[in-house]
Amino acid sequence: MKSKNRVAAAVLGLAALGLSSPQGAVAKSPLEGAEKGKRQCFWTSQVNNFAAENDRVVNVRVGVREVYRLEIFGTCPEIDWTQKIALVSRHGSSICSGLDAEIVTPSAIGPQRCTVRNIRKLTPAEVETLPRKARP
């Protein structure tokens, strides 16, 4: 009788483990993760404007309505004066986290590379509260 209880307990334990294990899903596009609240991704080709708040923060407009805040490791000198930047993805053509991205700016001594440490999608209310010069 005790062995039947042990077998039943083992089966129930394995069933519980199976139910609690996460089921991995592969995102088909970078936007799919954002819809589910997991990751906020965008395609580099859809970035159409930028504005630097200072030498540590750059806001980029993606498409018509979305604005993402990119925080830079350290500083990126002269980024708030430059007229153009390149946003480079290290892994394909989408950006989902800071470590995926690098900002390249022109300078007198050649291209300057600034590593992005954090990316966050801003809400429409946050975009409205940005200073005028920081709105892309």
Domain boundaries along the sequence of the chain: 31-134
Model confidence at 7, pLDDT cuts 50, 70, 90, reads very low
Q: What is the pLDDT of residue 47?
A: 93
Q: What is the pLDDT of residue 38?
A: 53
Residue 10 CB neighbour total at 10 angstroms: 10
Q: What is the DSSP string of 4-37?
A: HHHHHHHHHHHHHHHHHS------SSHHHHHHTT
Q: Which residues, at least 6 apart from 77, have a Cβ–Cβ distance to it below 8 Å?
A: 55, 112
Q: What is the pLDDT of residue 39?
A: 60
Q: What is the pLDDT of residue 109?
A: 87
Q: What is the pLDDT of residues 17-56, one digit of tens each?
A: 343 334 444 444 444 444 445 567 899 999 999 999 999 9
Distance CA 76, CA 78 (A): 7
| H/E element, 90 | none
Q: What is the pLDDT of residue 116?
A: 94
Give the tokens for residue 67.
């604005």
Q: Which residues, at least 6 apart from 67, have a Cβ–Cβ distance to it below 8 Å?
A: 59, 60, 61, 121, 122, 126, 127, 130, 135, 136
Q: Report in angstroms the alpha-carbon separations of 113 from 14, 38, 63.
A: 51, 28, 24
Task: Judge if pTM exceeds 0.85.
Answer: no
Q: What is the pLDDT of residue 9?
A: 42
Q: What is the pLDDT of residues 77-110, one digit of tens each?
A: 888 888 899 999 988 888 988 888 999 999 888 8
> Does the pLDDT value for residue 115 go beyond 90?
yes
Distance CA 22, CA 54 (A): 41
Give the tokens for residue 28.
């088909």
Side-chain half-sphere CA neighbours of 117 within 13 A = 8
Q: What is the pLDDT of residue 102?
A: 93
